[in-house]
Structure 1
Amino acid sequence: MKESLSLPVLIGQHTSPNVESLFSVLLRLYCTEVVKEAEDNDGISTGSVYISLCNRG
């Protein structure tokens, strides 16, 4: 992304439970912001991208 973000970005990604997602890896290649797969009780920070992997059981 060319401009820094003033808000957090939350993405819900629906995938098969048996398939490893490379979406966060690919986003890191193109973004200067922090990109991470969200975990329980994570705090949400401005300018970060969080990916929630849905359908994981």
Structure 2
Amino acid sequence: MEYRNSCRKFADSLDINVYENTFFITEREGNIVELENQSFERFPVETSDPIVHVGEG
């Protein structure tokens, strides 16, 4: 699927960090996702304290 000449909005207030052609997204569960060339890799973040899941509503 080709997306070079189009874009689609799928979320409001979403911060995505971009380095060259690679996108980095943080997930609520405590992962960092690296998106590059239509594939992704998920990296768990190691913290000294557990990740706390708190609702936003």
Tell me the TM-score range normalised by the shorter chain: under 0.3
The structure with more helix, counted as a fraction of residues: 1
> For the pair shown, which has the larger CA radius of gyration, 1 or 2?
2
Choose between structure 1 and 2 for higher RCO, CA contacts under 8 A separated by at least 6 residues: 1
Q: Which structure shows the higher strand fraction?
A: 2
- Which TM-score applies when normalising by structure 2? 0.20
